[in-house]
Amino acid sequence: MVLEALTQNVSDSGEGRWTVDEAVRQGTPTPVIAASLMSRFDSQGKADTGNRLLALMRQAFGGHAVVKRDDAS
């Protein structure tokens, strides 16, 4: 299979979610598993909202520029 034929989406089976959720409940640090889960979300475009909020906060508190999408009204 050619890499160009694949999307960059990394699927999420739910096991990483469950593991991170349980680790939080128990107060057990699992930084590598949590980072892996966040990477999966990022590959699925689910980090877009978080990144937009971060950009707005940086603008409000530090005066950093915000880049608007071309199709935004």
Q: What is the pLDDT along the chain (73 residues), one digit of tens a residue?
A: 667 777 777 778 899 999 999 999 999 999 999 999 988 888 887 777 778 888 888 888 888 888 887 765 5
CA distances from 41 to 44, 51, 61, 68, 70 (A): 5, 12, 26, 22, 24
- Residue 34, domain CATH: 1.10.1040.10
In a domain, 36, yes or no: yes
In a domain, 69, yes or no: no
In a domain, 55, yes or no: yes
Alpha carbons within 13 A on the beta-carbon side of 68: 4
In a domain, 70, yes or no: no
- Residue 24: the pLDDT is 97
What's the structural domain count of the chain? 1
Which residue range forms the structural domain that includes residue 22? 13-62
The model's pTM is 0.61
Distance CA(42)–CA(22), nearest Å, equals 21
